[in-house]
Amino acid sequence: MRNALRPCLGLVCMLLAACGAEVAGTAATAGSLAATGAQQARAQQAQVTDKLHSALDAGAARAASAAD
């Protein structure tokens, strides 16, 4: 009876290994997408910060010229 189960056990092991590889591939893809999203968010944050500093500088310049 044990000899009859060995081929089935091998097949089950191969199927589970294939499933693990698929899960690992999916996790790697999700990690890559998260990294790309974080990089884009940092770039957008830098743009917003630059615009904010420009607006603050322009406001300070207007205030200084109005005081003159």
Q: Which of 7, 56, 26 is nearest to 18 (CA)?
A: 26
C-alpha–C-alpha distance, residues 53 and 61, integer Å: 12
Buried b (16+ CB within 10 A) or exposed e, 23-42: eeeeeeeeeeeeeeeeeeee
C-alpha–C-alpha distance, residues 15 and 61, integer Å: 69
- The arithmetic mean of pLDDT across residues 42-58, rounded, is 96
Judge whether residue 1 has pLDDT over 70. Answer: no
The overall average pLDDT reported for the chain is 85
